Structure 1
Amino acid sequence: MSKFSWGWGHSFKNYLLMFDLQDNELQEPILDVAAGASSFNAEMHGRGYYVVSADPLYALSMPDLKLKIDRMGQTLRQWIEQHKAQFLLRDKAAFEDLIAKQKAMANIFIQDFQEGVYAKRYVADPLPNLSFSHAQYALALCANFLFDGPYAKDMDFQLKAILEMCRVAREVRIFPLLDDSGEVSQHVAPLMAVLQSKNYGVEIREVPFHLQKNGNAMLRVWSNECQL
């Protein structure tokens, strides 16, 4: 399943801040999971880096994809307006700027999509069943999906999704840790405990990206094979 019907798009700059990405990490193969209509892949490709984005959304035809993205953008605008107390937006101008950036990122994605599909940079894989090999990627990134998306209340799915990302990447980073009420998900702590019991390393790390009041932290998960 893809992101919420109001799914966010994210840019290269967003991801640098959300996931505290360092220059050396950008040199490694990265998987963007439940990526939606983000410009991150296109921008990384333009800089000579290698990213694969996975989302069932990419199975749509181009006309249907454009229509879906337009509808998601409209719903996102409404959702933010209804939940504006969660956000660090100074005024109406800041809100309009946020929406304009969402549209710009979606346009970059659309312009890159067909070329990216041909190059196998966009694949229609769903969680928790990814088609990639064991440890094929250095990093798997997942934004605005596990805790504030359609599976926000399904801890079993969240665990399966995290373990599947851990299978295909040496390290997984998840942002944000908030549910759709703007509070840290009650599933974060028990999931961390289960992952530790399965011999995974876990860390909550503060990050520079801070759009929602409580939303400036990501979850890192890594296997024993990961050289930290």
Structure 2
Amino acid sequence: MEAEFSWPEIKELQEQECRGLLGLLQEMGVASADRTYPPGEAIYREGEYGDALYILTSGVVKLFSPYSGTKEATLRLLKPWDIFGHLAFAGETVQLAYAEAITESKITKVPKVFMERAIRQEPQVALKVMTLLEFRLVQYEELVKCLLPRETEVRLANLLPILSRKFGEGDGGGPVTIDLRLTHQDLAAMVASTRESVTKVLNELRNRDVISIESGRITLKDHQALSELGKA
């Protein structure tokens, strides 16, 4: 998928698939529920029964898992038209992470029992779900690669372009601003590092004019430098 499509094309295709899936479900009379979550509200908690497919239609959602008592690892940041929720069609399953709204977020929830029925009745539903799961897998694989290097600098150099592609504002050839207010602790949770290490690396990147930071929003200014750091 990565070789065939650019990230802007993947975003567009993902939205088309989500809208197409919701349209099919509506035509079939499949029940779903729309709900808006304020910032900071839990959508579901780790260990809860996985009983539905969730589709984010607006806002930003964080998937995370706590560890070592008070720490947490951010597993994924979701943008509109991402799907989420641990939904197993064979037997029962539980959610493997917490899902929490970062900004005001509108979410469509389709109960598992109705998804199973729709998939049995209409092959196009199954095809669209499989396509969306593939998009999700691609994003997970990208984030996992960020954790392979030992150095925080290399991890951040790999993470920032991913965030810029997903939440970026700007043209492809110039500076790109990540349209999210990210604290140093937020970034540390995404690269499995400490806030102090992330702060040090960000200051170094800013001093070298690789990035700039204003009001918690990071702008990538030197994409080539980040690319070279990410290969270290």
Quickly name the TM-score band, shorter chain normalised. Answer: 0.3 to 0.5
TM-score (norm 1): 0.33
Query: Larger RCO: Structure 1 or Structure 2 (Cα < 8 Å, ≥ 6 residues apart)?
Result: 1
* Higher relative strand content: 2
Q: Please tell me whether Structure 1 or Structure 2 has the larger radius of gyration of its CA atoms.
A: 2
TM-score computed with the length of structure 2 as normaliser:
0.33
